[in-house]
Structure 1
Amino acid sequence: MPEKFRLVMLGPLGVGKSALTVKYLTQKYITDYDPYIDGKYSKLDIVGHEPVLARVWDTYAHPGSYTELEKYIKWSDAMIVVYSTTSKESFEAAQTYLKHIHVHFRNKGLETQPIMLVGNKRDLDRYREVDFYEGQEMADRFHCLFQESSARGNVNAVYSVFHNTIKQIQQERAFSRAEPSSAMTIEPISSTGSLPKSLSRRSKATSKSTGTSPKPLKKSSSTFKIFNKGFRLFT
């Protein structure tokens, strides 16, 4: 059986969470779908020359989204927080998601899960409102992986979002198997929203941009299941 990895897509409406998800599952770009439906999907994939089963929960944003974070966190192995590079408002919403996630783990006295921060819609550079360095700075502050991507663009850039997130989970699991668990000292979050480094084992090296596209995948027996969203797919 391939190892299972559960990823939750988080972010405000309209940033392209579903478009990224379906591009990863099918290599196709979608423009027409119901943004108000949660969907869970499965894909057999190859990451680091190993077979994996990726489970992706594509959530939708609504007024109670932040209160449901515990449900998403409990289910997931990692979170992918998405904003649009064309919307400063969505960037600020992504920061709010990150703050709520880390407060949750701080209050539970637990170490954070891997988090990938994604600036989507980089193909719409003429409408850009959020610079690359702003996304990188926020990722560094919250100890996240970071990259910009585009569901409309090359599929390898989308693969790298999911593959790099899965690789981070693999590293965390390998670390956990190698090291005995130990008590953590939880420090308060500063007034600026910055996080204490003790909340994460990840070094600054892991928070550098992973925006380089991986080599195209070799053809394999990858499969996927789409359950309930009724996407319209475009080649």
Structure 2
Amino acid sequence: MSRAASVSSVRKYPQVDESPSDLDRVVAALEEDIVLGRLHPRERLIEEELCERFGVTRHILRLVFAELSRMGIVERIPNRGALVRAFSSRDVEQLYGLREMLETSAAAQIAFPVGDADLEELRQIQVHHDDAVARDDLVLLFRSNQRFHSKLFALCGNEFLAEAIETYAQRAHGIRFHVLIGPEQRRRARDEHHLMIDAIVRQDRAALIELCRNHLPASKTAYLRTFGTLID
């Protein structure tokens, strides 16, 4: 088995100028529905409705459910079908505790000074994130935020750590973006991204680590405030 097959658990989506397969297209659309709160915890994914919506077969849809289940944002229950995964308060605390450990560890391992090409790429990704905040484009906000953090933590130079961060960030999709429903929270996340870039430029490791740590709790708190009484 190749290393890619045995180690990597992060799905790579087609580039913007590529035509996605039916599988990629439906996975991405349902992922966005869950992240942006169009589908709620424990909501059932009805095969007939989704086949009609996306124009795909049940076979493709079941592959979609398998992929979303692997990502940790959908669960398949015998005799009930596929449901949006609900996280208990304990699950949320443990998942975010793990994410904090991984992400602050990556921030601590970024080699300074970061090269000009990497810095420019990070800045350009943030331009798209800024634009999404300004236009209230939640899909672009989600995808540009993904790209920002993927690039940021890839700078640690440890691809296994970077893969682990992406894997558990994926698992938190249904949790972490509830905080971005409000414009004030979106602006705060945008400003924190700029502060992270500034800390990298200044080679201020302590500030970068603290920014990464403090970037996480708001989404956890928002999810528990919204769904805590329903999921425990």
Q: TM-score category by the smaller chain?
A: under 0.3
Richer in helix (by share): 2
TM-score where L is the length of structure 1: 0.26
Larger-Rg structure:
2
